[in-house]
Amino acid sequence: MWLINTKTLRLEQIVDPSSVDYAILSHTWGDDEVSFKDMKRLSKAKKKTGFVKIAKTCKLALKQDLRYAWIDTCCIDKTSSAELSEAINAMFVWYRTSAICFVWLDDLAPSSSAFKIMSHSKKFYDISQMASCKWFSRGWTLQELIAPANIRFYDASWNFRFTKENNVSTLATITTIDVDVLKMIKRLKDVLVAVKMSWAANRETTRPEDIAYCLLGIFDINMPMLYGEGEKAFYRLQENIVNLHSDTSIFAWLAPFRPPLPTQSFRGLFATSPQQFASSGHISRGVFAMRPDMGLENKGIRLNVDIYTIPRS
């Protein structure tokens, strides 16, 4: 794992990340970002617009007495497919084990009404103003909100606004993620697959494969990156989920109806994207529901489940 030394602003390779405390940045990518290669020549890196967020992150980390910081733009050698694949598979863990996560909302204006001081120094947050920040619409930032325990949010001018802990209800309302999940009271593995998929239903990624790759940590899945496979990545993700989780809610999705349909129209059991789980956020497991026997085989999916007759109304 490559980390930025917050004093020298140079990259250092740490073999065992668990041996050091580090800050981590969550943000949305912009133009003229600093790459791993750029960091080899700091004089060149400092001329780029994206270096500001590196400098600001390191400054905030130093205030927390942290020697290291991690930022995805410059701490991954993306010219190495092996390193990129390793980083994407490990990213959820890296965010979870960070000492602190700084979220930079670069489109939240300092004078925004999203933040107001009320009587007796109570803080009030305008949900519509907060929800309009693009950070809440990106695929990768989903795990970056869920994984870290300690998160501090900053506006476009790097003014501190709030923490995850003291604004958890607003964050839950915007993202539809259960408050207990954000508080780490409820474990991710105890949340139904369809519900977790619904959290990503309205999120976007630049590359089509990333809508699957950004969910790996949330489902505790490891799989190789194959950029160029398009929506097949999401199918592969679901195949891995079926093999790991005995949870039939993965089939609780709704495809858009676009008539006219051919006389015979067939498709598989898997959804084509998280968008098809948009209506699945309130699904729950029955009180007496048994975990089914299911798995992926050469010719399809093996299911051993109970069948119930629904009485006619």
Mean pLDDT by 10 residues, the chain (313 residues): 97 93 97 94 94 97 98 95 94 97 94 51 64 96 98 95 93 96 96 97 96 98 94 95 90 80 70 96 76 75 76 77
Sheet of strand 151-154: strand arrangement = 11-13, 2-5, 68-70, 22-26, 100-104, 151-154, 160-163
Among residues 137, 165, 186, which one ends one of the domains?
186
> Which residues are bridge partners to 69 per DSSP?
4, 23
What pLDDT score does 122 carry? 45
Same domain, 148 and 237: no
2: enclosing H helix or E strand: strand 2-5
Of 58, 1, 66, the C-alpha closest to 25 is: 58
Listed in sequence order, the residues at least 6 apart from 172 whose beta carbon sits closer than 8 Å to its beta carbon are 178, 179, 182
4: enclosing H helix or E strand: strand 2-5
C-alpha span between 39 and 85 (Å, rounded): 20
**What are the backbone dihedrals phi and psi of residue 169, each rounded to the nearest 5 degrees, phi first?**
-65, -40
Listed in sequence order, the residues at least 6 apart from 312 whose beta carbon sits closer than 8 Å to its beta carbon are none
What pLDDT score does 8 carry? 97
Same domain, 161 and 223: no
Same domain, 153 and 291: no
Same domain, 161 and 219: no
Q: Are 214 and 142 in contact (CB under 8 A)?
A: yes
Among residues 153, 186, 219, which one ends one of the domains?
186
Same domain, 114 and 41: yes
Q: Which domain holds residue 266?
A: 188-312
Of 90, 70, 76, 73, the C-alpha closest to 223 is: 90
**What are the backbone dihedrals phi and psi of residue 199, each rounded to the nearest 5 degrees, phi first?**
-65, -30
Q: Are 171 and 133 in contact (CB under 8 A)?
A: no
Same domain, 243 and 304: yes
What pLDDT score does 14 carry? 93
Alpha helices by DSSP H, listed for the chain, are 42-45, 51-63, 81-96, 127-131, 140-146, 168-175, 179-182, 193-199, 210-213, 232-244
What pLDDT score does 79 carry? 93
Q: Are 306 and 290 in contact (CB under 8 A)?
A: yes
Burial of 48 (0-12, 13-18, 19+ CB in 10 A): middle
Among residues 147, 164, 186, which one ends one of the domains?
186
C-alpha span between 201 and 69 (Å, rounded): 30
Q: Are 227 and 161 in contact (CB under 8 A)?
A: no
What pLDDT score does 59 carry? 98
Same domain, 117 and 19: yes
Same domain, 10 and 105: yes
**What are the backbone dihedrals phi and psi of residue 85, each rounded to the nearest 5 degrees, phi first?**
-65, -45
Output the CA–CA distances (angstroms, integers) from residue 128 to 42, 120, 140, 173, in the order listed.
Answer: 39, 24, 21, 10
Same domain, 130 and 250: no
Please work out, in degrees rounded to the nearest 5, the angle formed at the alpha carbon of residue 180 by the alpha carbons of 179 and 185.
155
What pLDDT score does 282 carry? 93
Listed in sequence order, the residues at least 6 apart from 299 whose beta carbon sits closer than 8 Å to its beta carbon are none
Q: What is the C-alpha R_g of the chain? A: 21
What pLDDT score does 120 carry? 41
What pLDDT score does 263 carry? 59
Same domain, 37 and 160: yes
Same domain, 196 and 162: no
Same domain, 212 and 303: yes
- The count of domains in the chain is 2
C-alpha span between 73 and 34 (Å, rounded): 6
Of 185, 265, 266, 216, the C-alpha closest to 89 is: 216
What pLDDT score does 119 carry? 37
